[in-house]
């Protein structure tokens, strides 16, 4: 059984006086215990909204989210089910998620208390993320960006989550810290038996750490599969375009913010396959009918 199962999830963003924007438009995704799944796609494709719905931070409009066998779709906006402390999130900007006025040891201790862990010390958690235990008495501003992200990871792991979600956790870091922090998240999640959903627009780092990749485009998952297979032979034209956009053939380098072609407005998505206005292989059917969801959601690969 999957640790996390997202089934046909729909999330609408509503702003008074404006049409609703369907940020997630029927996305399905699974994460197993001890598995690392990389969720990739351009900025604004709905990756972060999906993650926030999984954590209960954003209400789902439709579909179902099952975590450890329980449904979380109907979670209210203001209430967080105590069970959901077993999902911990690491955000893009660690400075925004750490309290600047509290010592980091006290903030890590909050997570240990949540887990009922009286044995582990905040210093011990710092050592697990590669920082000296003696730094527990310092404040967030006394650290570099990469160190602060390590502290955010220590705090998240202190709560003993069974699912860790990284929402673009490396995109604000120096290039030198990115792979280190991503690898650290992977190793610590896997060691503790937790699943990791790692969201990034940096495919080259996702390739380093993920067992499986899910590619998202305009609110939908268009291709999923084992990382090595997708890297060696991407099938969906959007995945192919993403991989081609990585500047270095050895996979070192980051995805540009946008691929060539106009990114459609999520409030007014194209008919049929949402990628058809940008797809070099589009056929007549593509503008008329939506391809079925599956490992590759594309009319070039109709389900058997
Ligand atoms: Fe391209 Fe058609 Fe496949 Fe969409 S369904 S990705 S437009 S070939």
Residue at 20 is within a domain: yes
* The token pair that represents 143 in the structure block: 């650290």
pLDDT in tens, 36-79: 999 998 888 899 999 999 988 888 999 999 999 888 755 554 44
Whether 295 maps to a domain, the answer reads no
Q: Is residue 114 part of a domain?
A: yes
Strands 4-13 and 62-67: antiparallel
**Residues 87-119: tens digit of each pLDDT:** 999 998 877 789 999 999 999 999 999 899 999
> What does pTM read for this prediction?
0.91
Domain count, the chain: 1
Instruction: Output the residue whose Cα is nearest ligand 1's atom 8.
Output: 282
Q: Which of 275, 293, 295, 301 for mutating ligand 1's site (highest number of atoms within 8 Å of CB)? A: 275
Residue 298 lies in a domain: no
pLDDT of residue 84: 67
Tell me, using a 6 A CB cutoff, whether residue 282 lines ligand 1.
yes
- pLDDT, tens digit (0-9, with 9 covering 90-100), for 271-290: 999 999 999 899 999 999 99
Banded model confidence at residue 257, pLDDT cuts 50, 70, 90: very low
Does residue 18 form part of some domain?
Answer: yes
Closest CA to 255 of 291, 292, 301, 213: 213
Q: In the structure, what pLDDT confidence band is assigned to residue 82 with cuts at 50, 70 and 90? A: low
In-domain check, residue 145 = yes
For residue 222, which atom of ligand 1 is closest to its CA?
A: 6
Q: Is 300 in the pocket of ligand 1 (CB under 6 A)?
A: yes
Whether 282 maps to a domain, the answer reads yes
Determine the residue of 216, 221, 236, 237 to mutate for testing ligand 1's pocket, defined as the one with the most ligand atoms within 8 A of the Cβ atom. Answer: 237
- What pLDDT does residue 206 have? 93
Answer whether 298 contacts ligand 1 (Cβ < 6 A): yes
Say what the pLDDT of residue 71 is. Answer: 82
* Residue appearing with tokens 């999520």: 266
User: For 188-213, how does the pLDDT look when each residue is reduced to its tens digit (9 = 90+)?
Assistant: 999 999 999 999 988 888 999 999 99
Question: Using 50, 70 and 90 to split pLDDT, how confident is the model at 248?
Answer: low
Instruction: Kindly report which listed range (8-22, 46-60, 249-263) carries the lowest average pLDDT score.
Output: 249-263
Residue ranges of E strands in the chain: 4-13, 21-31, 36-40, 62-67, 70-71, 87-90, 163-167, 195-200, 212-217, 220-226
Q: What is the mean pLDDT of the chain?
A: 88
Task: Print the domain residue range for 114.
Answer: 4-75+82-247+254-287
Q: Are strands 212-217 and 220-226 parallel, antiparallel or unpaired?
A: antiparallel
CB atoms near residue 34 (< 10 Å) = 16
CATH number of the domain bearing residue 195: 3.40.50.300
Cα 286 to ligand 1 centroid, rounded to whole Å: 6
Q: How far is the CA of 277 from the centre of ligand 1 (A)?
A: 9
pLDDT recorded at residue 214: 97
304 or 98: which leads in pLDDT:
98
Atom from ligand 1 closest to the CA of residue 274: 4
Query: What's the pLDDT score for residue 202?
Result: 84
Residue 170 in any domain: the answer is yes
Is residue 49 within 8 Å of residue 13, measured between CB atoms?
A: yes
């Amino acid at each position: 059984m999957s640790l996390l199962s997202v089934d046909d999830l729909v999330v609408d963003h509503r702003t008074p006086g404006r049409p609703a924007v369907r940020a997630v438009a029927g996305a399905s995704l699974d994460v197993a215990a001890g598995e690392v799944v990389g969720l990739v796609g351009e900025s604004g494709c709905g990756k972060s909204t999906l993650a926030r719905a999984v954590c209960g931070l954003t209400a789902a409009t439709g579909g179902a989210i099952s975590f450890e066998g329980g449904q979380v779709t109907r979670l209210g906006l203001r209430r967080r089910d105590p069970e959901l402390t077993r999902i911990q999130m690491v955000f893009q900007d660690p400075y925004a998620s750490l309290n600047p006025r509290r010592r980091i040891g006290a903030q890590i201790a909050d997570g240990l208390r949540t887990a009922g862990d009286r044995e582990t010390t905040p210093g011990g958690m710092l050592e697990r993320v590669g920082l000296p235990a003696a730094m527990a008495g310092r404040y967030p501003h006394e650290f570099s960006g990469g160190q602060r992200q390590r502290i955010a990871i220590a705090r998240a792991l202190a709560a003993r989550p069974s699912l860790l979600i990284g929402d673009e956790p490396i995109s604000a870091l120096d290039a030198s810290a990115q792979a280190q922090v991503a690898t650290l998240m992977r190793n610590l999640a896997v060691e503790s038996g937790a699943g990791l959903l790692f969201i990034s627009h940096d495919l080259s780092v996702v390739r380093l750490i993920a067992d499986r990749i899910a590619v998202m485009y305009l609110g939908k998952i268009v291709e999923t599969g084992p990382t090595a297979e997708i890297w060696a032979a991407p099938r969906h034209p959007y995945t192919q375009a993403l991989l081609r956009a990585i500047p270095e053939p050895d996979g070192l380098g980051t995805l540009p913010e946008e691929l060539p072609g106009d990114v459609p407005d999520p409030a007014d998505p194209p008919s049929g396959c949402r990628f058809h206005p940008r797809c070099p292989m589009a056929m007549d059917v593509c503008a008329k009918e939506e391809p079925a969801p599956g490992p590759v959601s594309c009319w070039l690969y109709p389900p058997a």
